[in-house]
Amino acid sequence: MRITEYKKTQAVPMDKEKASELVKKMRKEHEKMVKGKFEFLDANGGWIDFTYRFFPGDPIQTIHLVHGEIVDIPMGLVKHLNNTVKKVRKLDMVNLDTTKRGVPASYNIESRLRFTPMDFY
């Protein structure tokens, strides 16, 4: 038997000046425009629509991207697109043992979307 205890740590409040400096720094990094090619790996030739708000207080933006399109988008959105993944299950039919609970499976992580900066073309 194992007993694990987790304690919630108290967040140390940050000075408002220091916090606003960090937000300004994050905004500056996020708003840097990057030109590149968008690829929708799940649906080649397709498009994707989504809404996103990058920082609190910002307006909600609707973003429409088409596969193969060359666009200028902010670096924060590039990071978001390149971190969009899906899990694809693989069933292990060779070692199928019905006495155990469920079907043995593992999964691969695959990227759904890709944004490649034009510097690499």
* 100-119: pLDDT as tens digits: 666 666 788 888 888 999 87
pTM above 0.75, yes or no: no
Residue 37 pLDDT level (bands cut at 50, 70, 90): very high
Length in residues, the chain: 121
pLDDT tens digits for 79-96? Answer: 989 988 888 887 766 666
Question: 110-120 burial, b for 16+ CB within 10 Å, e for fewer?
Answer: eeebebeeeee
Burial of 27 (0-12, 13-18, 19+ CB in 10 A): middle
Residue from 70, 73, 80, 78 nearest 118 by CA: 70
Task: Report the run of H or E that residue 105 belongs to, with start and end.
Answer: strand 105-111
